[in-house]
Chain A
Amino acid sequence: MIMDKRKNRTYFLMILPAFIGFIILFIVPAIMSFGYSLTNWSVYNADIDFIGFRNFQKLFQDAKTVAAIQHSVVYAILITIIQNVLSIILAVLLNRNSKVTNFVKGITFLPAVLSIMVVGYLFQYIMTSADGGLLNSIIQFFGGQPVNWLGDSNIALYSVLATQVWQWTGYTMVIYVANLKSIDSSLYEAAQIDGANGIQRFFRITLPLLYPATSFNLLMSLIGGMKMFDAVFVMTKGGPGYATETIMTTLIREGFNTGKTAYACAFAVVFFVIVFVFSKVVTYFLDKWEGAIQA
């Protein structure tokens, strides 16, 4: 008993530095933000008044906000699916121990080392509609028509998405590769004796056993996708028009740039709720999957 008490005290002291820092620098500002969301606080307005949910009302009346939320959701779902499918395929195909595959794994991860800002600027030049843009030069070399990657409002969001897939697929893949290594090879041998072909083996053995990596990767790319900001900011500034505005770019533009701090805070609250619900839904299905595997 006494030992338990002492142990708990030590535990408490061990978690304390992280917890205090986190409370002071993250939770307190966040709660303050939530509080401000119910006021009319603005950079240009010295008096703060309580105005209830009026900021939230305005938020949902604004078509721009709703469009930005849609963009972020579409972006997050797409990048989660594309990135994970691609990286599972790559992981399965590259999961051998030869010099060549190790080299390919190495360079696939390389873009994850670069800053999003650097990648964004680089691809702005690669995807430009000006003469000599790399991507269009390649397409024209093969006889295709040049595409206005970042300037066409129908595809700009997907162009940005493509750059992010390029940057992060290797990162996700490496996590899958690690998971694959932990799978007992005797399982495959048994399946082979049963006469299962490669694809059957993938769905019966590999995929279920990839659960740990998948759950981590899905959540990370989903949350990362919802938070997306830097790449759009560097490559398109949310344009053309509002075609690539995401939640974060809209929040910063509508809230902070125009000095409407309280409005930005309301936006943040809505954002929090959306991401929270999203990740709950995903965890629910992941748990179900886990249950099914264990059963």
Chain B
Amino acid sequence: MMKCKNIAKKTGYGIFLAIVSVIMLLPIYYLLVTTFKTPAEAVASPLGLPTHFTFDNYIKAIDAMNYGQALKNNLIITVTSVIFLVVFASMASYVIARSKQKMFKVMYSVFLVGLIIPFQVSIIPLYKIIAGANLMNTHLGVILVNVFCINLPLSIFLMRGFINTVPQELEEAALIDGCGTFQCFWRIIFPLLKPIVSTVAILDTLAIWNDFMTPLLFLQSSEKQVLLQQVYRNVGPFSTDWTSFFPMLVMATLPLVIFYIVMQKQIIEGVVAGAVKG
């Protein structure tokens, strides 16, 4: 009796796992398998395996996207932005979490405004500022917008929440030891923030890599453009063919998927750490 119930439970759980996996993987499988098919094949059997494997579509896609250059641009923008974010946000959130000064609390609520308004609503003044600083059509311009207009508020919000849970005794001891606040932060606190730093770095990497509007608005030269812009440039509404389009989608996403697969454990545990302690 008991055994029967257990078996039923186990099968039920197995079915549940199978259904979840199918729902999550089917669209991705479809994307991949379509890249190897002719349009006729794709229509005839959307899910069937292709009759022959050819990488011609991918070679065409890589060529059309100016892949190497675009990938480099993506990397420059993402890596630099994330470093900026981690440095600036960790220092700012430390101050907000530790100081009882009213001024810093006010600054915190100012940062939180950024969580609410999407920056696109003030795009024209922003455009003027970036242009005025001679940063139009530069990677630095996109990096600054990505850092300050899009990702800084959430990074600070997450980091502050985490720092609140770090006991203060350690720094107090260090301070008594004569270590200055600034050194004390980098020496004692920052290493303790590893979980939240990885959370923030991962979330920001995903957001910045996949951001499309900022580069579209601020980068005009094709040799400075990022992967998604290259996809967009090639799919103009008047010249699309999905068998050449899907490989571009795959190629634009591939680096990040590899990053995910390699770092899967850290990502899943990393995303975790920050949010929950908040």
Could you list which residues of chain A lie within 8 angstroms of chain B, going by C-beta atoms? 6-8, 10-15, 17-19, 21-30, 32-33, 36, 90, 93, 100-101, 103-118, 121-123, 125-126, 131-134, 137, 166, 170-171, 174-175, 177-179, 181-182, 212-213, 215-217, 223, 227, 229-230, 248, 251-252, 256, 261, 264-265, 267-268, 271-272, 275-276, 279
Contact = CB atoms under 8 A, between A and B. Distances in A.
B168 interface: no
Nearest to A130: B43
Contacts of A264: 121
Given A25-B129, A115-B212, A134-B47, A15 B96 contact: yes
17 contacts: A17-B91, A19-B92, A19-B107, A21-B152, A25-B129, A29-B119, A30-B113, A33-B124, A33-B125, A104-B21, A106-B268, A113-B206, A113-B253, A121-B235, A174-B268, A251-B120, A271-B121
Contacts of B192: none
Contact of A11 (B99, B117, B125, B242): B99
Contact of A272 (B87, B95, B117, B210): B117
Given A10-B182, A107-B25, A230-B213, 6 more contacts: A19-B111, A21-B88, A30-B121, A110-B28, A126-B27, A256-B123
Nearest to A122: B31
B152 A18 contact: yes
A15 B110 CA distance: 13
A214 B231 CA distance: 36
Nearest to A37: B121
Interface in B245-263: 245, 249, 252-253, 256-257, 259-260
Contacts of B122: 26, 29-30, 32-33, 265, 268
B278 interface: yes
B147 to A, nearest CB: 7
Contacts of A178: 269, 271-273, 275-276
B147 A21 contact: yes
Contacts of B27: 111, 122-123, 126, 134, 166
Contacts of A108: 20, 24
A14 B91 contact: yes
A24 B119 CA distance: 13
A261 B121 CA distance: 10
B200 interface: no
Nearest to A278: B116
B118 interface: yes
A251 B121 contact: yes
Contacts of A36: 125
Contact of B275 (A100, A113, A175, A229): A175
Contacts of B242: 125
A182 B110 CA distance: 32
Contacts of A133: 46
Given A14-B182, A22-B152, A178-B273, A109 B121 contact: no
A30 B117 contact: yes
B272 A27 contact: no
Contacts of A123: 27
Given A112-B206, A175-B275, A223 B228 contact: no
Among A11, A21, A33, A261, the one with the most B-chain Cβ atoms within 10 Å of its Cβ is A11
A65 B230 CA distance: 33
B9 to A, nearest CB: 11
Contact of A14 (B44, B92, B126, B149): B92
Contacts of B118: 227, 229, 248
A6 B183 CA distance: 13
Contacts of B116: 223, 272, 275-276, 279
Contact of B91 (A18, A100, A126): A18
Contacts of A30: 113, 117, 121-122
Given A108-B24, A111-B24, A112-B206, A137 B46 contact: yes
A267 B259 CA distance: 39
Contact of A117 (B25, B114, B119, B212): B212
A15 B95 contact: yes
Contacts of B185: 14
A105 B252 CA distance: 24
Nearest to B99: A11
Nearest to A17: B88
B114 A134 contact: no
A132 B30 CA distance: 12
B206 A26 contact: no
Interface in B120-153: 120-126, 129, 144-145, 147-149, 152-153
B43 A216 contact: no
Given A29-B125, A125-B242, A178-B273, A8 B114 contact: no
B89 A166 contact: no
A55 B144 CA distance: 31
Nearest to A98: B17
Given A104-B20, A122-B27, A14 B94 contact: yes
